[in-house]
Amino acid sequence: APRFGTADLSNCEREQIQFAGSIQPHGALLLCREPSRVIVQHSENAAGFLGLTGDLTGLGLTDIPGTLASAIARESSEALHIRPVAVRCEAGSPPRPMTALIHRPPGGGLLIELEPADVQAGTPTAESPTVGAPKADLGPAIEAALQSVLGATSLNALCDEVARSVRTITGYDRVMIYRFDDEGHGEVFAEQREPGLEPYLGNRYPASDIPQIARRLYERNRIRLLVDVGFQPVPLTPNLSPLTGAELDMSLCGLRSPSPLHIQYLHNMEVRATLVVSIMVGGQLWGLISCHHYQPYFVPAMTRCACEFLSEALATRITALENFAEAQAELSARRLEHRMFEVLSREGNWKVALFDNAQLLLAPVRASGAALVIDDEVTVAGDVPSTHDIRAIAHWLDERGEEGLTVTASLSRQRGAFESIVASASGVLAVSLAESPGAYLFWMRPEQVRTVTWGGDPTKPVAVGDDPADLSPRRSFAKWHEVMRRQSAPWSKADIAAARLIGAMVSDVILQSRSVRMLIAH
């Protein structure tokens, strides 16, 4: 795998971004041996950052003027392996209010990252390289943000509110809620921006824009600040960690220099500063809160902490909305079950009972058609292709040989021959029944032709210049339209949950009727 900074576009998927070996200059990094807390490695700017002269290596934390050593004296928790802790202190000469972000990197030691704490979000100036305006009270803004998050009743409203709150709290020019789909492509799902800026709302960006390694890192390190795309990386000294003899693992560092490839990408996008917060839902990276600024921009640790908290609140509400949708789907599946048993007690035929009211069968799964294939018999409801085609779908399901559930929004992408039936069966959600080979209940949805707007040509994520060495992430972000055909609306978790329930219920009925028949036969 390529080392940090040596990746090109052929191997950037594997760039070791956690071994950056350098930091951004708005803070300073110290690595201490434990338990002595003697400094063994630091960023080259550390002494200057603290207003000290001479080499810091070999000094104890207590040698640094101020309260750093005492403030973190009791921080030794095991949890520091997983998550940095922010501690307020005064450090340097003269002592200045600082935030110390401390954690335990793999390989041991205590890693301390210092940054100024007496500032609020803003554009650094020559006089005060990391200072925005004086510190303001975050409390009321956070309270208002929480109120609006709790009040939002749809996913769209919720994401709008979070984008608005993050923009109020941080002051970035643009704040986006960026949502991933199943294939890892992203969509700008909500956006708040400075008037006059081009809207990105609705734009899609291909999965290749964010390598897998970075995605996995962002599941652990939930917030990343880039103060100035044009920054000069500050190297660590010595460059290998004396504790391991290897490169320092900076996975959980807040000051880590981002990959030069990503810097180039932002440069091409004409963005000057970013803040990105992971949105984790059910243990997975659901999306990102992505903030852009068109000037260098610093946001202090406490404000970033508020953003992380809002992202947690957002994730909790997303889960609640998803659970609600599933509960609704379950309810309508139960309604179908109720009706089915009612009819069954009159008619004595479960297939007739199941298909007695098409709407009750289709609604729980939000489908437009349904088919049951069992014992070579086909029963249908709603909008469906010919019986011949239904059998062909059942045959395809047989060939796949998947137990339980099959879900696709594009049947014809799975098998080209199904292109002729996209008008009724572009999407298929199928359950296999009662361990009977060849027995399926499945729901169908028609093709939904729609135009997707990409932020740049997704087929050209990479730009090649005249010089072969001149490879760059895509340079043009001009809108690029793609007409998506042969695809249905996607099946949601709630649709799938309802299908599962109905499948189980029908399977039970089949098994019961079989055992009744066996009793009669004997």
Nearer CB in complex with ligand BLA: 321/463: 463
Residue 473 within binding range of ligand BLA, rule CB under 6 A: yes
Residue 123 within binding range of ligand BLA, rule CB under 6 A: no
| Separation in Å, CA 288 to CA 90, 215, 284, 385 | 33, 10, 11, 40
Select from 45, 130, 259, 507 the one that contacts ligand BLA (CB under 6 A): 259
Residue 250 within binding range of ligand BLA, rule CB under 6 A: no
Residue 252 within binding range of ligand BLA, rule CB under 6 A: no
Q: Which residues contact 67 (CB under 8 A, 6 or more apart)?
A: 89, 90, 91, 95
Residue 191 within binding range of ligand BLA, rule CB under 6 A: no
Select from 49, 180, 200, 442 the one that contacts ligand BLA (CB under 6 A): 200
Shortest CB 288 distance to ligand BLA, Å: 6
Select from 2, 9, 19, 485 the one that contacts ligand BLA (CB under 6 A): 9
Shortest CB 141 distance to ligand BLA, Å: 23
Q: What would the two tokens of residue 216 be?
A: 């996995």
Residue 461 within binding range of ligand BLA, rule CB under 6 A: yes
Buried b (16+ CB within 10 A) or exposed e, 421-457: bbebbbbbbbbbbbeeeebbbbbbbbbbeeeeebbbb
The one-letter code for the residue type at 143 is: E
Shortest CB 300 distance to ligand BLA, Å: 17
Binding-site size, ligand BLA (CB under 6 A):
28
Phi, psi of 506 (to 5 degrees): -65, -40
Nearer CB in complex with ligand BLA: 285/405: 285
Nearer CB in complex with ligand BLA: 248/276: 276
Among positions 214-243, residues that touch ligand BLA (CB under 6 A) are 214, 218, 224
Point out which span in 10-18, 28-36, 77-85, 315-323 binds ligand BLA (CB under 6 A): 10-18
Edge-to-edge strand ranges of the sheet holding 427-432 = 377-382, 369-374, 440-445, 427-432, 405-408
Shortest CB 321 distance to ligand BLA, Å: 24
Detail the DSSP E strand segments found in 96-185.
Answer: 96-103, 110-116, 174-180
Shortest CB 222 distance to ligand BLA, Å: 10
What is Dmax (Cα atoms) for the chain?
A: 97
Select from 49, 180, 205, 443 the one that contacts ligand BLA (CB under 6 A): 205
Compute the distance between CA of residue 327 and CA of residue 340 in angstroms, rounded to an integer.
20
Shortest CB 180 distance to ligand BLA, Å: 10
Residue 12 within binding range of ligand BLA, rule CB under 6 A: yes
Nearer CB in complex with ligand BLA: 205/440: 205
Residue 258 within binding range of ligand BLA, rule CB under 6 A: yes
Residue 291 within binding range of ligand BLA, rule CB under 6 A: no
Select from 39, 47, 111, 276 the one that contacts ligand BLA (CB under 6 A): 276
The one-letter code for the residue type at 25 is: P
Nearer CB in complex with ligand BLA: 179/486: 179
Compute the distance between CA of residue 10 and CA of residue 24 in angstroms, rounded to an integer.
26
Contact yes or no for 33/58 (Cβ under 8 A): no
Shortest CB 55 distance to ligand BLA, Å: 29
The separation between CA 278 and the C-alpha centre of its own chain, rounded to angstroms, equals 6
Q: Which residues contact 469 (CB under 8 A, 6 or more apart)?
A: none
Shortest CB 301 distance to ligand BLA, Å: 16
Q: What would the two tokens of residue 169 be?
A: 């709290």
Compute the distance between CA of residue 241 and CA of residue 501 in angstroms, rounded to an integer.
55
The separation between CA 216 and the C-alpha centre of its own chain, rounded to angstroms, equals 10
Name all contacts of 321-326 with Cβ < 8 Å and 24+ positions apart. Answer: 321/154, 321/155, 321/158, 322/281, 322/493, 322/494, 325/492, 325/493, 325/494, 326/493, 326/494, 326/497
Select from 89, 253, 261, 329 the one that contacts ligand BLA (CB under 6 A): 261
Residue 17 within binding range of ligand BLA, rule CB under 6 A: yes
Residue 163 within binding range of ligand BLA, rule CB under 6 A: no
| Site residues (vs ligand BLA, CB under 6 A) | 9, 12, 15, 17, 176, 186, 200, 205, 208-211, 214, 218, 224, 258-259, 261-262, 265, 274, 276, 288, 290, 455, 461-462, 473
